[in-house]
Amino acid sequence: MNRSGGRAADQLRVVEITRGIAPQAAGSALIRTGETRVICTASIAAGVPEWRKESGKGWLTAEYDMLPGATPTRRARNRLDGRTREIERLIGRSIRACIDLSRLGSNTIHLDCDVLSADGGTRTASITGVFVALQDAVQTGVQRGLWQADVLTCAVAAVSAGVVRGASLLDLDYAEDVSAEVDANLVMTDRGEWVEVQATAERGTYSDAQLRELTELGRAGIEQLFEHQRQALAAPRG
Amino acid sequence: MNRSGGRAADQLRVVEITRGIAPQAAGSALIRTGETRVICTASIAAGVPEWRKESGKGWLTAEYDMLPGATPTRRARNRLDGRTREIERLIGRSIRACIDLSRLGSNTIHLDCDVLSADGGTRTASITGVFVALQDAVQTGVQRGLWQADVLTCAVAAVSAGVVRGASLLDLDYAEDVSAEVDANLVMTDRGEWVEVQATAERGTYSDAQLRELTELGRAGIEQLFEHQRQALAAPRG
Amino acid sequence: MNRSGGRAADQLRVVEITRGIAPQAAGSALIRTGETRVICTASIAAGVPEWRKESGKGWLTAEYDMLPGATPTRRARNRLDGRTREIERLIGRSIRACIDLSRLGSNTIHLDCDVLSADGGTRTASITGVFVALQDAVQTGVQRGLWQADVLTCAVAAVSAGVVRGASLLDLDYAEDVSAEVDANLVMTDRGEWVEVQATAERGTYSDAQLRELTELGRAGIEQLFEHQRQALAAPRG
Amino acid sequence: MNRSGGRAADQLRVVEITRGIAPQAAGSALIRTGETRVICTASIAAGVPEWRKESGKGWLTAEYDMLPGATPTRRARNRLDGRTREIERLIGRSIRACIDLSRLGSNTIHLDCDVLSADGGTRTASITGVFVALQDAVQTGVQRGLWQADVLTCAVAAVSAGVVRGASLLDLDYAEDVSAEVDANLVMTDRGEWVEVQATAERGTYSDAQLRELTELGRAGIEQLFEHQRQALAAPRG
Amino acid sequence: MNRSGGRAADQLRVVEITRGIAPQAAGSALIRTGETRVICTASIAAGVPEWRKESGKGWLTAEYDMLPGATPTRRARNRLDGRTREIERLIGRSIRACIDLSRLGSNTIHLDCDVLSADGGTRTASITGVFVALQDAVQTGVQRGLWQADVLTCAVAAVSAGVVRGASLLDLDYAEDVSAEVDANLVMTDRGEWVEVQATAERGTYSDAQLRELTELGRAGIEQLFEHQRQALAAPRG
Amino acid sequence: MNRSGGRAADQLRVVEITRGIAPQAAGSALIRTGETRVICTASIAAGVPEWRKESGKGWLTAEYDMLPGATPTRRARNRLDGRTREIERLIGRSIRACIDLSRLGSNTIHLDCDVLSADGGTRTASITGVFVALQDAVQTGVQRGLWQADVLTCAVAAVSAGVVRGASLLDLDYAEDVSAEVDANLVMTDRGEWVEVQATAERGTYSDAQLRELTELGRAGIEQLFEHQRQALAAPRG
C-alpha cells in the first residue's frame, strides 16, 4: 500500500500547533496535520446552562464547523447536519474526560473548532488542538481568580485509523478516508486509557483482530500527539 | 452487583417481537425488550435522493424519534437534537451493512423507529426490531416485482453493554445506563463480524481489557437476538 | 350505496380500545376503528404555560401527529401544516369541555395522539381514544394527590359523518372521505349536548336539511362510542 | 342584552367596502365592519403548485395575517400559529366554492387578507371582502385573455354568530366574542346553500335548537352582505 | 431626461399623508408619494428589551414589510431578506435621532411600516410617514401620563435621489430606480443636519461632485416633506 | 484627541495581508489591521443562481460572519441578524464594482469573510482583504480556462472614518467606534471614484462640512490600502 508522501502505515502526517491565533479569546490554537487545518478557541462565560444550575458544577461544551472555503468545492454555512452534531458531541465528551467540572465554579468553557482546511481527520485534529486552547483558557481563568490550575486532570488527544484495501493504517487523509472499509476514531488520555473507541464499517464488516490492530495503531499515534501538545505549550503564547 | 429482576451480568431482558403492527406500511414490527418498546416500520418509495441519482443504486435511510409519552416526564416533539441524529445515522449505517443497494433498483427504503416506551437500549432495540420490519418490506418489494429476495445479504442485530460500578454488564436498562462509567453500543452480523463498536467513557476512562469484555458480552447477546428475529419471522405476519 | 364490509349508512366501523399501551405515561390507550389506529397518551406536568399563570387554573392541551408509516405512501415527519394544527386545536377544545380546569391546581395535562394507521376519521378517533387515556391520567393524578376525581365533569366522544354521492353516511373511511361532497366532524358530551359541529362542503354546497341529517347520524354514533369507552375502562389497565 | 351602539340581536354592524385600495394588485378591496378593517387583495400568477400540475386545473389559495398595529396591544409579526392557519384554510375553502377551477387554465389566484384593525369577525369579514377583490381580479384575468368571466359560479359571503349570556346574537364584536359561550362562523353562497358551518362551544355546550338559531341568524345576515358586495362592485374601481 | 408625469429633476412626486388609518394603534398614518403607499403605525409597550434594561432609558424600534399585493407580481410573505433588515435598521436609526429615549421611561415604541403599494422610495416614504404616526403615539403617551411632549426633539424626513443616465434626479420612482447608476437615501432633521447619507453605485462609480449634487437635491426635497408632515398633523386625527 | 498607540487622526493602523491561508480554496488571504483579523476566501462554482440564469452573465456574492472566539465575550454562531446581512450586501456590492460579470461565463464566485479577531473596522477590512483572495481566485479560473484575466476591471478597497468627540478620525478601532458620534464606511476604486459612501449619525447629527472631512480622510487612507494589496500580491502565494 503506497501512502501519499511515502508515509508508513503507522506514521502520522506532519503536525504543527500554534498558540494564540485568536488574541481576544481566552485560549486559542491553530493545528495543522498535513493539509488539515483547524482553528481552535476556548472562551470562558460566567454561568452554566439552565439544566445544570442545581448541580453546583461548571460546564464545558464544544462546537464544530467548517469554514466555507475549507474544501475544494465550497460548503454552505450553517449545515447543522447529523455529522456536525455527532462531531460536536464527540469533542465535548472527549475533553470533559480531562477536566474536573466540580472545580470550575459556576462557569462554562466554550470550545470552538472551525476547520480552515479539510483533508481528513478534522474531528480528531480538533480534539488534539482544542486541548491546547483549553490549557491557555484554564490559565486565563487562573489569572482571573476563577479556579485553580488543577481543574485539568489529564491530557487528551485523538487520532483516526482505518482499514484501506485490507491494510490497517494510522491517520487517514481524505483520499484514504473515502476509500476505507473501516473508519475508527480513537481518543485517549495521557495515562493510556481510552475515552472513546468508535469503529465503523463503511462497507463490509470487520473482525475482533482488526479492531485490535486499529486500537494499537491509534495508541502509538496518540502518544506522539501528546509530545506535540507539550511542545506547543512550551513555546510562548504568541 | 444486583440487577433488576435478578438478571445475571450476561443476561438479556425479556424480548418480544410482533410483526404487522402498522398494517399500511410495507413492513412493521413492535419490539419489546423489558420495558423498552419501539414501533418499527419500513416503507418503500420510488426514486432515490438527488445526490444518489447517478449511482444507479438504491438507498436505505433511517429515522428515529420518541413519542412524547415514552418517558415518565413528557418529552417535547421534534427535538432534533444531536443525540437523535447520531442514533438515526447509526441505525442507517447498521442496516445498510445487510442489504445490497446495487440490487434495489431506483428505490429507497425508509426505516422509522418510534419509541413508545423508553427504558434504556432504545437505539439497539431499534436496530434489532427494524430488521424484522425490513424483512417484510423486502418481501413486499419482491411481490411488487421491484427486486429479488437476495437483496438481503445477512441479518443484523444490536445490543448495549456497559461498565457499572466496575462490573461489565450486558443490555443496560435505564437505571443502569445513567450510572454507567462506560457505555457501549455493539452491532454485529449473523456471520459474527462487527458492523459498529462504540465504547464511550461517560465518566473516567477504560482499558483495553474492559473493551474486550464488553465486546464479548455483546457477541453472546446478539447471537440470542438473531434467534428472536427468526422466531418473529416464522410467525404469521399479523 | 355499497359501503366497504357491507356497512349500513348509520353503522360504525368495528371499534376496539386498549388501555396501557405506553406504560411510562400517566395514561394511555390504543384505539382502533376499522383500519384506523391511534396511540393516545396523557402526561401530567407541574406548572402551567406562562400566559396562564395568573389564572390560578390548570391547563390541558393536545398534540396530534402521524407516524411516517401510517399511510401506504410514507409521510415525512414534522409536517406542522395547517391541517395538523387545526386538528390539535379541535382535540384540545373538545376534551377541555369535560374537565374543570379550575380544580386541576397548577398542573398541565398533555394529550398526545399519534396515528399508527390512517384510514379516515383519525381526528375523531383521537378524541374518543384520548378521553380513555385522560381518564387513567386523572386517576394517576388522584393517586399522586394532585386533584380529586371530580375534575372530570362529563365524557366526550366524536365521530365523522358526510355526504357521499348524495347519501348521508356515518363514520367515513378514507375511500369515502376523499369522494365526499360534505365532510362533518361532530363532538358531543354524554349529556347529549354539542361541543363542536363542523360541516364543510368539499365540493358544492349543502342545505339545512342535510346539516340536520348529518348531526342526527353523528348523535346516534357517538352514543355507541360512549359504550366502548366504558367497556375499555372497565377492563384492567394492562 | 344591551349591545354596543344599541344594535338588535339580529343586526349587522355598519359595513363599507372600498375597491382598488392596492392599485398594483389584480384586485383589491378594503372592508370595514364596525371597527374591524381588512385589506383584501387578489393576485394572479402563472402556473400552479407542484402537486396540482397533473390535474389540468387552476388553483386558488388564501393567506391571512394581522398587521402589528391592528390591536390595542401590538401583535408580533409572523406568528404562524394554529389559529392563523385555520383561518387561511377556511378562507381558501370558502372562496373555492364559487369558482370553477377547471376553467382557470394553468393559473393560480392568491388571495391575501391583512387585518388593519381587529374588533371581532375578522375571518368572516375577510371572506366577504376578498370576494370583491376576487371579482376585480377575475375581470383583470378576462382582460388579459387568461379565462372567461364565467369562472365565477356564485357569490360567497360570511358572518359570525354566537351565544352570549344565553342570547343568540349576529355578528359579534370583540367584546362579545371573548364572553361568548358559543361561537359560530357561517359561510353561504348567494343561492342560500351552506359552504361551511362551524359552531364551537368555548365554554359549556349547546343544543340542537341553539345550533338552528345561529344558522338562521347567519342566513339573514349574509343576505344583507351580498347586497353590500353588489353595491361595492357597482361603484367605480377607484 | 423626460420623467414620468413631466416632473422636473428636482421635483417631488405628489405627497399625501392621512392620520388615523389604524384606529386601534397609538398612532397611525397612510403616506402616499405618487403610486407608493405605506401604512405606518406606532404602538406603545410597557418595558424595554432585555439588553436595554439596565440603561434606565426607553427604546424605539422599527419593522418594515411589504404586503403581498403591493407589487404587480405577488411577493411572498415573511421574506426576511437582507434588504428588509437593512431598511428596518435605517428606519429605526433615523427616527431615534429625533426622540430623547432617556425621557421615555421604561417603555418601548414600536414603529411598523407596511407597504401597500410599491413604486420606488418605500424606505424613505416610510421614514417620512411613520414620523407622523409617532407624533400621534407620543401624544397618546402624554395623555396616558407615560411621558412629556418634549420627548420629541426635532422632526425627521427622508427622500431618495439618484443618477439616471448621467442626470441627478430627486425622488426616483420604480422605473427610474431600476435603471439608476447611483442610488442615494438621504435622511435629515428639520434643523438641516444629516442623520444618514447612503450613496451606492449600482453600476459604475461616482465622483465627489456627484455626491454633492445628490445631497443638495435631497436637502431641498426634504424641506418640502416637513411641510407635508406639518399639514397632516394640523388636520384632525381622523 | 489621544489615539491608542499614538496614532494621528489621519493614520491607518498597521496592515498585514497574507495570501494562501486556506490552501483548498481557489483564493484566500488573512488580513490584519491592528487587532482586527479576517480570514477571506474566494471559491468558484459552476452555474449561477436561478434568478440569474437568463442573463447570460456570471455572479459574485459575499458572506460575512464572526468566529465565536473573535470577541472577548464569545458570540453565538449563526446569528443572522440585520447587521450581518447588511455587511454581506455591502461587501458583495463593493466587490462587484471591480469585476465584469458578463465575462465570467456561467460561473459564480463566492466570497467568504470570517472574522478571527474583531477590533473595529471588520467590514472594511473584509472588503480590502477579500479583494486579494479574489485576485488569486481569478487567476485560478484563468488557469482552469474559465475566463480571461481581464474580468477584473479595477481594484477596490475600503476604510472607516468617524467623528469622535468632535474630531474626524480615520480607521476607528473598537473603543473609538463605540464612542463615535458619526460612523462612516467608505469604499473606493483605484481610479479614485466612490463605490459606496455611508455616513450614519449614531448620536446627534452631522453637517455637510463634516461629511466632506470624512470622505477626504477616507480617500487618503484607501490609497495606502491599495499599496498593501499590491505588496501582498507581489509576494508568493504561500
Of A85, A93, A197, the CB nearest to B85: A85
Does B contact D via 3+ CB–CB distances below 8 Å?
A: no
Percent of chain D with pLDDT over 70: 99
**Grid cell in block for residue F234:** 507581489
C231: how many CB neighbours lie within 10 A of its CB? 12
Whether E110 and D42 lie within 8 Å, measured CB to CB: no
Q: Is the ipTM of this complex over 0.90?
A: yes
Instruction: Give the strand order in the sheet containing E59-66.
Output: E15-19, E27-33, E36-46, E107-117, E59-66
CB atoms D41 and E72 under 8 Å: no
When pLDDT is cut at 50, 70 and 90, the band that residue C159 belongs to is very high
Q: How confident is the model at residue B1 (pLDDT cuts 50, 70, 90)?
A: low
The model's pLDDT over F172-213, given as tens digits with 9 standing for 90+, comes to 999 999 999 999 999 999 999 999 999 999 888 999 999 999
pLDDT at B163 over 70: yes
Mean of pLDDT values over E170-198 = 96
Which residues in chain D touch residue C91, judged by CB atoms under 8 angstroms apart? none
pLDDT in tens, B83-114: 898 999 999 999 999 999 999 999 999 999 99
This prediction has a pTM of 0.89
Least confident of B187-201, B224-238, D98-112: B224-238
Q: What is the pLDDT of residue A1?
A: 60
pLDDT value of position F1: 60
Contacting residues for A108 by C-beta, under 8 A, at least 6 apart: A44, A45, A46, A47, A48, A49, A58, A59, A60, A61
Q: DSSP readout, C57-85?
A: --EEEEEEEE-GGGSSS---TT---HHHH
Is D5 or F126 the better-scoring residue by pLDDT?
Answer: F126
- The pLDDT assigned to E120 comes to 96
C-alpha count within 13 angstroms, C-beta hemisphere, residue E234: 6
Angle formed by the axes of helices B122-143 and B208-234, nearest 10°: 40
User: Taking CB atoms and an 8 Å limit, are B74 and C110 in contact across chains?
Assistant: yes
How confident is the model at residue D104, as a pLDDT?
96
Give residue A78's pLDDT band: very low, low, confident or very high (50, 70, 90): confident
Is residue E20 within 8 A of residue E237, CB to CB? The reply is: yes
User: What is the distance between the alpha carbons of residues D218 and D12, in angstroms, rounded to a whole number?
Assistant: 10
Cβ contact A205–B97 (<8 Å): yes
Angle among Cα F85, F88, F93 to the nearest 5 degrees reads 125
Q: Which of A4-18, A73-87, C165-179, F162-176 has the lowest mean pLDDT?
A: A73-87
Determine how many CB atoms are found less than 10 A away from the CB of residue A15.
21
Distance from CA of B154 to the nearest CA of A (A): 11
Chains in contact with B, where contact requires at least 3 CB pairs less than 8 Å apart: A, C
Is residue E78 predicted with pLDDT exceeding 80?
A: no
Walk me through the domains of chain A, giving residue ranges and CATH numbers: 7-234 (3.30.230.70)
Residue C230 or C80, more confident: C230
- Which pLDDT belongs to residue A238? 62
Q: Distance between CA atoms of B105 and B47, rounded to whole angstroms?
A: 9
Q: What are the DSSP calls for E75-129, one per residue?
A: --TT---HHHHHHHHHHHHHHHTTB-GGGS-SEEEEEEEEEEE-SS-HHHHHHHH
User: Which chain D residue's Cα is nearest to C83?
Assistant: D86
pLDDT over 80 (residue D21): yes
**What pLDDT score does E81 carry?**
80
Using the beta-carbon criterion (under 8 Å), do B24 and C112 form an inter-chain contact?
A: no
Mean pLDDT, rounded, for A116-137: 97
Region label for D77, one of left (φ > 0), alpha (ψ between -120 and 50) or beta (otherwise): beta
Q: Are F117 and A77 in contact (CB < 8 Å)? A: no
The answer, yes or no, to whether residue A235 has pLDDT greater than 90, is no
CB E222 within 8 A of CB E15: no
A43/F116 Cβ within 8 A: no
State the DSSP string of chain D. -PPGGG--TT-PPPEEEEE-SSTTSSEEEEEEETTEEEEEEEEEEES--GGGGGG---EEEEEEEE-GGGSSS---TT---HHHHHHHHHHHHHHHTTB-GGGS-SEEEEEEEEEEE-SS-HHHHHHHHHHHHHHHHHHHHHHTTSS-GGGB-S-EEEEEEEEETTEEEES--HHHHHTEEEEEEEEEETTS-EEEEEEEESSS-B-HHHHHHHHHHHHHHHHHHHHHHHHHHHS---
Interface B-C, measured as beta-carbon pairs within 8 A, has a size of 91
Share of chain C above pLDDT 90, in %: 89
pLDDT at C238: 62
pLDDT at D238 over 70: no
Q: How far apart, in whole angstroms, are the C-alpha atoms of residue F44 and residue F60? A: 9
When pLDDT is averaged across residues B33-58 and rounded to a whole number, the result is 94
Average pLDDT over residues B127-133: 98
Q: Could you tell me which chain B residue has the CA closest to the CA of C78?
A: B78
Please tell me which residue of chain B has the smallest CA distance to A86: B86
Tell which residue, D22, D28, D40, has the closest CA to residue D116.
D40
Cβ–Cβ under 8 Å, residues C226 and C157: yes
Q: Residue A195 in contact with residue B205, Cβ under 8 Å?
A: yes
Q: Is there an interface between C and F (3+ Cβ pairs < 8 A)? A: no
Would you say residue F44 has pLDDT above 90?
yes
Query: With contact defined as beta carbons under 8 Å apart, do E76 and E68 qualify?
Result: yes
pLDDT tens digits for E202-230?
A: 888 999 999 999 999 999 999 999 999 99
Interface of E with F (CB under 8 A): 81-83, 85-86, 88-89, 93, 97, 189, 191, 193-202, 204-208, 211, 215
pLDDT of residue C121: 97
| pLDDT confidence of residue C81 | 80
Residues 6+ apart with CB under 8 A from D96: D60
Mean pLDDT, rounded, of chain A: 95
User: pLDDT tens across A30-63, in order?
Assistant: 999 999 999 999 999 999 999 998 888 999 999 9
Residue E137 has pLDDT above 90, yes or no: yes
Report the pLDDT averaged over residues D13-40: 96
Chain B contact set for C45 (CB, 8 A): 73-74
pLDDT at A157 over 70: yes
Mean pLDDT of E51-64: 93
Nearest to C68 among B43, B72, B118 (CB): B43
Instruction: Chain D: list its partners (3+ Cβ pairs within 8 Å).
Output: C, E
Q: What is the pLDDT of residue A2?
A: 81
Confidence of residue B203 (pLDDT cuts 50, 70, 90): confident
| E-chain residues near D42 (CB < 8 A) | 69
Give pLDDT tens digits for D179-226: 999 999 999 999 999 999 999 998 889 999 999 999 999 999 999 999
Residues of C in contact with B24 (CB under 8 A): 35, 69-72, 117-119
Cα distance from N-terminal residue to C-terminal residue, chain D: 40
Tens-digit pLDDT profile for residues F95-112: 999 999 999 999 999 999
Q: Which residues of E touch D117 (CB under 8 A)?
A: 22-24
| Other residues' Cβ atoms within 10 Å of the Cβ of residue A209 | 9
Neighbour-count burial of C76, counting CB atoms closer than 10 A to its CB (0-12 exposed, 13-18 middle, 19+ buried): exposed
C-alpha cell at C8: 349500513
Question: Angle at the Cα of E218 (from E214 to E223), degrees rounded to 5?
Answer: 160
Cell of B19: 410483526
Q: Determine contact, residues C129/C18, Cβ cutoff 8 Å.
A: no
State the cell numbers at B7: 438478571
Arithmetic mean of pLDDT over chain E: 95
Cell of C42: 396523557
User: What does the pLDDT average to over A150-160?
Assistant: 96
| Tally of CB atoms within 10 A around E1 | 12
